[in-house]
Amino acid sequence: MNQPFFSIVTVVRNNLAGLKKTMSSVLGQTNTSWEWIIVDGCSTDGTSEFAAACAGEKVFVIREPDLGVYDAMNKGLVRSSGQYVCLMNSGDSFAGPDVLFSVREELERAPVDVLFGASIMRFGVMDVQRPARNPSYIWHGQPGTHQATFFRRAEHVLYPYDLKYKICGDYDVITRMWAAGLTFGSASILISVNEYTAGGISGRGKLALLGEAVRAQRSNLGLPLWKIALSVMLRIVTSVSAKTLTLLDFSRASSNKKDKSAKA
C-alpha cells in the first residue's frame, strides 16, 4: 500500500456514539489518501467491538490499557505512517467532506511542519467559530485547536507528548516545536467541529491547566513574568465565557427533559 498523505489518530474510551460520529466524518472525506488509527483504552461499552468491526485496509485499531490520553496519542503516532498526522478526538469531526482535500492543497502549495486551521466550538446553545490565529499567538495559547492542527509526522514523532502534562500536553508539544525552529503556518480552512459540554474540566482542573500552561511558557518559550501574567488573565476570561455557555446548554437540556416528562 502506498504511503497515505494523512494519518488520523483518534483516542477513545467508552464513547461509542462519539466514535461513530468521528467515523462518519473520516469515511466521508473526498480525499481518500488517509489511514485512520483508533486507539481504544479497553472500552467496556461496546466501543471496542465497534472499533474492531471498523478495522480494515485503511483502519487500524490499537486496544490496550494506557496511562492517559497523551500516552494513547503517542501510541497512535508511533503506529501512523502518513506524511501528516491529525489528532481527532472521539466525538469531534471534520467540518465537511472536503477538509482533507483542501488541507492537502494548502500543504502542497506552502509546505510547513505544523499547520493550524479554523474550527467550530459547539457549546449546544450556540456555535462559536475559532479562526486560525497567526503562529506567533503561541506565546499565549494554541493558534488552532488540537483537532484543527496538522503535523508533519516525521517531526511529531521526535516530539512525543510529555506524560507529566495531564491537560496541556498539546500546548507543551507545539511550544517545544516552536522553540526548536520548526516551520509553522495558519490557513483559513475550516477543519473541525469540537463538542464542549458542561461535564468538562472542573475548577481544580482549571487551576492545573493554568499551572501547566505557565510551565510550558517558562520552560519552552522563556517568557517574562509579566507576559505570563497577562496570559493567565486572558485564560481566566476565556474559561469563564466557555463555562457560561456550557452551563446554559446543560440548563436548556435539563428543561427540555423536564418538559418531556411533564407531557408524558
> Would you tell me how many other CB atoms lie within 10 Å of the CB of residue 243?
17
Q: 87, 121, 89, 86: which is closest to 239 by C-alpha? A: 121
- Record the pTM: 0.88
pLDDT digits (tens, 9 = 90+) for 33-61: 999 999 999 999 999 999 999 999 999 99
pLDDT digits (tens, 9 = 90+) for 125-168: 788 899 999 999 999 999 999 999 999 999 999 999 999 999 99
Q: Where are the alpha helices (DSSP H) in the chain?
A: 16-27, 47-54, 69-79, 99-109, 153-156, 169-179, 203-216, 225-263
Cell triple for 53: 468491526
Q: Are strands 114-122 and 127-130 parallel, antiparallel or unpaired?
A: antiparallel
The pLDDT of residue 250: 46
CA 151 to chain centre: 12
**By the 8 A CB rule, do 32 and 82 touch?**
no
The pLDDT of residue 124: 72
Residue 261 pLDDT exceeds 90: no
Residue 253 pLDDT exceeds 60: no
**Which amino acid is located at 249 in the chain?**
D
CATH architecture for the domain at 6-263: Alpha-Beta Complex (3.90)
**By the 8 A CB rule, do 120 and 129 touch?**
yes
Residue 264 pLDDT exceeds 60: no
Q: How confident is the model at residue 2 (pLDDT cuts 50, 70, 90)?
A: confident
Q: List, as one string, the DSSP characters of 207-261.
A: HHHHHHHHHHIIIII---HHHHHHHHHHHHHHHHHHHHHHHHHHHHHHHHHHHHH
Tell me the C-alpha distance between 7 and 75, whole Å. 13
Q: How confident is the model at residue 246 (pLDDT cuts 50, 70, 90)?
A: low
Q: Are strands 149-152 and 84-87 parallel, antiparallel or unpaired?
A: antiparallel
Sequence-separated (6 or more) residues with CB below 8 Å from residue 250: 124, 197, 198
The pLDDT of residue 202: 44
Long-range contacts of 167-170 (CB under 8 A, 24+ apart): 167/201, 167/205, 167/208, 167/209, 167/212, 168/209, 168/212, 168/213, 168/215, 168/216, 169/69, 169/70, 169/73, 170/87, 170/142, 170/146
> Would you tell me how many other CB atoms lie within 10 Å of the CB of residue 87?
25
The pLDDT of residue 4: 98
pLDDT digits (tens, 9 = 90+) for 187-212: 999 999 998 765 544 445 778 889 99
Residue 96 pLDDT exceeds 60: yes
